[in-house]
Chain A
Amino acid sequence: KQEVTQIPAALSVPEGENLVLNCSFTDSAIYNLQWFRQDPGKGLTSLLLIQSSQREQTSGRLNASLDKSSGRSTLYIAASQPGDSATYLCAPNTGNQFYFGTGTSLTVIP
């Protein structure tokens, strides 16, 4: 079974900082990997989807990289804003299922 670890579990940064969230997974035989954002009490919003053949994917201030062979993905957030405060989850897909880490809780301080 896929095991997903996200580090750090929590992160607090001042506004404007660039930051990196880390995700590692045990089964490298994935089809793709998805990064989500979850606001308190809300559902999950998809941020980026990286196919297994891709190395990285960008959307605005977000950049996600994938090193499938080593079982790692990172989410880079540039010029963080208070509105980025949320929990970020990574989910590698090994077939019909995505497996989730417990997330990184991000707080951006104005």
Chain B
Amino acid sequence: SQTIHQWPATLVQPVGSPLSLECTVEGTSNPNLYWYRQAAGRGLQLLFYSVGIGQISSEVPQNLSASRPQDRQFILSSKKLLLSDSGFYLCAWSDVGIYGYTFGSGTRLTVV
């Protein structure tokens, strides 16, 4: 069966520090991978999605970047965090959308 792992669960980082969040999927190959952010009291915002290794699409301009170095690994990064980067970050995968999305458990990021 397919599983998705996302870590860390919580993170407190100072402004200006770098960020690296990792997401991995098991039990499938060539999944579509997604990073979402959920700010307090707001809906889910799609940040990046990837349909294959090295293929990244960005939905909104921001202080973040994403990479897909391996088929089932998706990384969200920042060189210098801003206060506005605080939020709940969710990774998800889908099998070209046919069977829907499966989400990871999320990372609560607080930038101080």
Q: Which A residues lie at the B interface, using CB under 8 A?
A: 31-32, 34, 36, 41-46, 49, 89, 91, 93, 95-103
Contact = CB atoms under 8 A, between A and B. Distances in A.
B36 to A, nearest CB: 8
Contacts, number: 57
B97 interface: yes
Contact of A102 (B42, B94, B103): B42
Contacts of A49: 99-100
Contact of B49 (A32, A41, A97): A97
17 contacts: A31-B98, A32-B100, A36-B103, A41-B108, A43-B6, A43-B105, A44-B103, A46-B102, A89-B43, A89-B44, A96-B32, A96-B97, A97-B34, A97-B49, A100-B43, A102-B42, A103-B43
The 4 closest A-B pairs by CB, nearest first: A102-B43, A49-B100, A100-B44, A44-B103
B43 A101 contact: yes
Interface of B: 6, 32, 34, 36, 42-44, 46, 49, 51, 88, 90, 92, 94, 96-106, 108
A91 B49 CA distance: 16
Contacts of B103: 36, 43-46
Nearest to B46: A97
A40 B90 CA distance: 14
| Residue among A31, A97, A101, A102 with max Cβ neighbours from chain B (10 Å) | A97
A31 B97 contact: yes
Given A96-B32, A100-B44, A103-B43, A42 B105 contact: yes
B101 A98 contact: yes
A65 B42 CA distance: 25
Contacts of A99: 46
Nearest to A100: B44
